[in-house]
Structure 1
Amino acid sequence: MTNVDIVPSRKIVGAVDGLFSATGEDFVSAPVGELVLTWEGIADDLHAGMTRKSGAREPWYPRGTEMRNERQITILSRDELAEAAGEMQIDRIEPEWVGANMTLSGIPALSMLPASTLLFFEGGVTLKVDFQNGPCRFAGRAIARGLGRGDDADLALSFVPAAKRRRGLLAWVEIPGRIAVGERVEARLPEQWIYSAA
């Protein structure tokens, strides 16, 4: 076997410090006290569904191809949003401006949790992390609008580099149920390695 460094699995405990749902016609979300999750994600949320249509993030499929929806839940860190805001030279980025469904505290470098991390919530819900969410100009435009600077194209575009590896995680529902603000969450990171064989 090729020499591979293996990092053992581990657990990190955090808490839910915000919940949001996007029930309008775009991805911008609004704060809620709890989320009701089904196998399809958040009821009535823009990103709910067992499947979704492929887009620019999946250039290997013709646009509009029906595929598994791994983007049911968007999870962010307020600390990482604050770091991105600092790079953009603005005072804040509100989670709902960029379509958050949930913010977690107590988990350092949240956006760097590996794919297949399981998030176990004390109320019984389990979410499975698919991968990092990539920052895009549409979220940048929403930030500019949120700050009353909707015509500031430079500000909108600055979000993409500022939020790289800080844009949070995409997850899907493994065990449905309810999640409340303040709930404890345990992140169980899988064993990790770098695949470098030629």
Structure 2
Amino acid sequence: MQLPLMRFDDEVEIVPGRKLLAKVSATLIAPSDHFVTRPVEALELDFEGVAGDLHAGATRRSGGREPWYPRGTEMRNERQVSIVASDELATIAAGMDLREIRPEWIGANLVLEGVPRLSMLPAGTLLFFKGGVTLKIDGQNAPCRLAGRSVADHARMPDREAGALLFPKVAKRLRGLVAWVEKPGRIVADEEVSVRIPEQWIYRP
């Protein structure tokens, strides 16, 4: 017996996709032995990520963000590129009573301008760079104590561990995004970016 088709359109919240424009304001790379980045003129990307960057690789080892795997399990590297926004870093700095938080302190590879609430872009968003690179957003970059300690050290906070604990609380949903390379190439500062946000829906079974 064939069951009738069931429609749930009236029960699902659907937000249409849209396009935004952004601009690259900084490109940065991490050395092979530490996650703190340094400014560079351009980023060379292949399918493993930013060439020469600490987080490059087709795969990575699982950590605290993946409690469903034993720590150190080899898995796909969806965290090849770290992306932040200057306005969100300023908000975090204000919340920590700091003058500034620089993108290199927390290991950012790209600083983008022109996207409101950058950290809230949904997974699946595509970033089309004018020079030909395409990045695909995996999701938010959850703030951690390691980045907090780096902020505390660079900002010369008197209590390093207090800063390490405060950063994850203040930076929640403001710390930027992680992405992987869908189409390789070269990214330079001041480059235009077409941001294509997919159709979104709230799944309520």
Q: TM-score, normalised by structure 2?
A: 0.94
Q: CA separation in 1, counterparts of 2:23 and 2:148?
A: 27
Aligned residue number for residue 155 of structure 1 = 163
Q: CA separation in 2, counterparts of 1:92 and 1:147?
A: 8
Aligned residue number for residue 39 of structure 2 = 31
Q: CA separation in 1, counterparts of 2:127 and 2:160?
A: 37
Pairwise CA distance, 1:154: 1.2
Q: CA separation in 2, counterparts of 1:98 and 1:155?
A: 13
Which of 47, 53, 77 pairs up with 1:69? Answer: 77
Secondary structure at the residue paired with 2:75? strand
Aligned residue number for residue 4 of structure 2 = none
* 1:55 equivalenced with 2:63 (yes/no): yes
Aligned residue number for residue 3 of structure 2 = none
Q: CA separation in 1, counterparts of 2:52 and 2:189?
A: 19
Q: CA separation in 2, counterparts of 1:34 and 1:172?
A: 17
Measured against aligned partners, the alpha-carbon deviations of 1:130-149 in whole angstroms (never above 9, x if no partner) come to 00000001001000111123
Q: CA separation in 2, counterparts of 1:108 and 1:50?
A: 30
Q: CA separation in 1, counterparts of 2:64 and 2:34?
A: 17
| Residues 162 and 4 (structure 1), Cα distance of their counterparts in 2 relative to 1, 3 Å cut | same
Aligned residue number for residue 177 of structure 1 = 185
Letter in 2 for 1:153: E
Which of 179, 195, 198 pairs up with 2:203? Answer: 195
Preserved contact between residue 130 and residue 170 of structure 1 (Cα < 8 Å): yes
Aligned residue number for residue 24 of structure 2 = 16
Letter in 2 for 1:179: I
> Any gaps of 5 or more consecutive residues in structure 1?
none
Please identify, of 18-27 and 90-99, the stretch whose mean Cα deviation from structure 2 is larger. Answer: 18-27
Q: TM-score, normalised by structure 1?
A: 0.97
Preserved contact between residue 30 and residue 96 of structure 1 (Cα < 8 Å): yes
| Residues 120 and 150 (structure 1), Cα distance of their counterparts in 2 relative to 1, 3 Å cut | farther
Q: CA separation in 1, counterparts of 2:41 and 2:89?
A: 21
Letter in 2 for 1:63: R
Q: CA separation in 2, counterparts of 1:33 and 1:42?
A: 13
Aligned residue number for residue 121 of structure 1 = 129
Letter in 1 for 2:55: H
* 1:133 equivalenced with 2:141 (yes/no): yes
Total equivalences in the alignment:
197
Q: What is the RMSD of the two structures over their aligned residues, measured on CA atoms?
A: 1.0
Which of 81, 84, 94 pairs up with 2:92? Answer: 84
Pairwise CA distance, 1:151: 4.6
Preserved contact between residue 141 and residue 150 of structure 1 (Cα < 8 Å): no
Q: CA separation in 2, counterparts of 1:72 and 1:180?
A: 17
Preserved contact between residue 53 and residue 64 of structure 1 (Cα < 8 Å): yes
The higher radius of gyration belongs to: 2
Which of 91, 102, 110 pairs up with 1:94? Answer: 102
Letter in 1 for 2:29: S
Letter in 2 for 1:103: V
Secondary structure at the residue paired with 1:15? strand
